[in-house]
Copies of this chain bind each other. A is one copy, B any other.
Amino acid sequence: MRNIKMTVEYDGSRYKGFQRLKDNEMTIQGKIESVLSKMEEEDIEIIGSGRTDMGVHACGQVVNFKTNSQYSVEKMQKYLYEYLPEDIVVKSIEEVDDRFHSRYNVKSKVYLYKIDNNKFHKVFSRKYATHIEKKLDLNLMKEASEYLVGEHDFTSFASSKSKKKSNVREINSISIQENNDLIEIYIEGNGFLYNMVRIIVGALIEVGHKKKTPQDIKTMLEDKDRSKASDTAQAKGLCLYKVKY
């Protein structure tokens, strides 16, 4: 069978997340599989680099699937473009080595979190950025983010629903910048626990509002205590930006 790798962009607003649920439930995986399965009347299952939650977007989700189809990849991409709804687009497609697995082979993932920190929300990014009226101190947030970079036990920054054996993960970098009147937080890491990015952003927001100090973030990490996790930042500000292999 051929192994096909695709990079997919989607607006998660209407969906119950990436992962397939029961029939007819709106999921990204469900939509893509249903179109692919019709293409050649074979049952296609796609593997994502990971799940994205309800309401989370992606600029660069990566998936792969096995198929017996003899269609060229260009033809597959056109077919998907024609039959997928306009909020899911396959940006690139290629045939890859049989051993490529979009989840197991991930080297790192980059998430982008957008915050609209203006007094009144911006109309055109209202679905892709979280509006926070009260001014954030970016310098304090940058200082706090430095404690998170590196290999740490992120127990304090995971949802209690996370059931992984080890909570040790490595964050390669966090960059916080302003762009087009929005605050953009890029977080790159080799793996993320359930809700980890949104809880990190929630903690950085508390620092930006001076409810926590940057040093409190260090203490939170050391405490390894889920009950100390900050509020989970809203889904709509989050985007799976890039998956690296």
Binding site for B on A (CB under 8 A): 9-11, 57, 59, 77, 81, 86-91, 120-124, 126, 128
Contacts and interface: CB of A to CB of B under 8 A. Distances in A.
Contact of A124 (B11, B90, B123): B11
A122 B87 contact: no
Please state the number of chain copies in the assembly.
Answer: 2
Given A57-B124, A86-B121, A90-B120, 8 more contacts: A9-B122, A9-B123, A59-B124, A77-B120, A87-B126, A89-B123, A91-B120, A124-B128
The A contact surface, by secondary structure, is mixed
Query: Top 8 closest A-B pairs, CB basis?
Result: A9-B123, A11-B123, A89-B120, A89-B123, A81-B120, A86-B126, A87-B123, A124-B128
19 contacts: A9-B123, A9-B124, A10-B123, A11-B123, A57-B124, A59-B124, A77-B120, A81-B120, A86-B121, A86-B123, A87-B123, A87-B126, A88-B123, A89-B120, A89-B122, A89-B123, A90-B120, A91-B120, A124-B128
B11 A89 contact: no
A113 to B, nearest CB: 15
A91 B124 CA distance: 13
Contacts of A121: 86, 89
A177 to B, nearest CB: 15
A77 B122 CA distance: 14
A123 B57 CA distance: 10
